[in-house]
Amino acid sequence: MFKKLRVRLKNQKGFTLVELLAVIVILAVIAAIAIPSITGIVANQKQKANVQDALNIIHAAKLYNSENGDQTNRTITYDDLKNSLDHVSDTSFTVTVTNGVYSISGHDGIADSTTEQKLVDDSK
């Protein structure tokens, strides 16, 4: 009996179609679960990066405002901050200072006229 089993095992040369289909189905189920999850994580991290960029822009605007005569009402653009912001690719933003409250508009992924406090709250 062991001889027959040993001969039978030696003659087995590959996987059956059912075994291959089972592996493909398992991989498809894993992919169907993982891909949307990873996509959501990437989108979430991109939004967090945009918020952090906006906070960095506001901090640069605060520094610019203090170096150039602290004003309570002022509009600051990329041209004013370009020496401080070498990593920001979006150059169409404006930072508005109104009575000491800094808000940013026109930045990627950020709602128009978002205040610094709202950005801080969103980053938590």
DSSP per-residue letters across 85-113: -SS------EEEEETTEEEEES-TT--TT
Q: What residues have CB less than 8 Å from 89, skipping those under 6 apart?
A: none
Q: What is the mean pLDDT of residues 19-45?
A: 93
**Is the model's pLDDT at 82 over the cut of 90?**
no
Query: What average pLDDT does the chain have?
Result: 84
The total number of structural domains that make up the chain:
1
C-alpha separations of 7 from 3, 4, 19, 51, 115 in Å: 6, 5, 22, 67, 77
**Is the model's pLDDT at 41 over the cut of 90?**
yes
**Is the model's pLDDT at 112 over the cut of 70?**
yes
Q: What is the pLDDT of residue 88?
A: 76
Q: What is the mean pLDDT of residues 68-87?
A: 84
Domain that holds residue 103: 2-122
Alpha helices (H) along the chain? 2-11, 17-67, 78-81, 116-122
DSSP classification of residue 72: S
Q: Which two tokens stand for residue 103?
A: 């808000």
DSSP classification of residue 48: H
Q: What is the pLDDT of residue 27?
A: 96
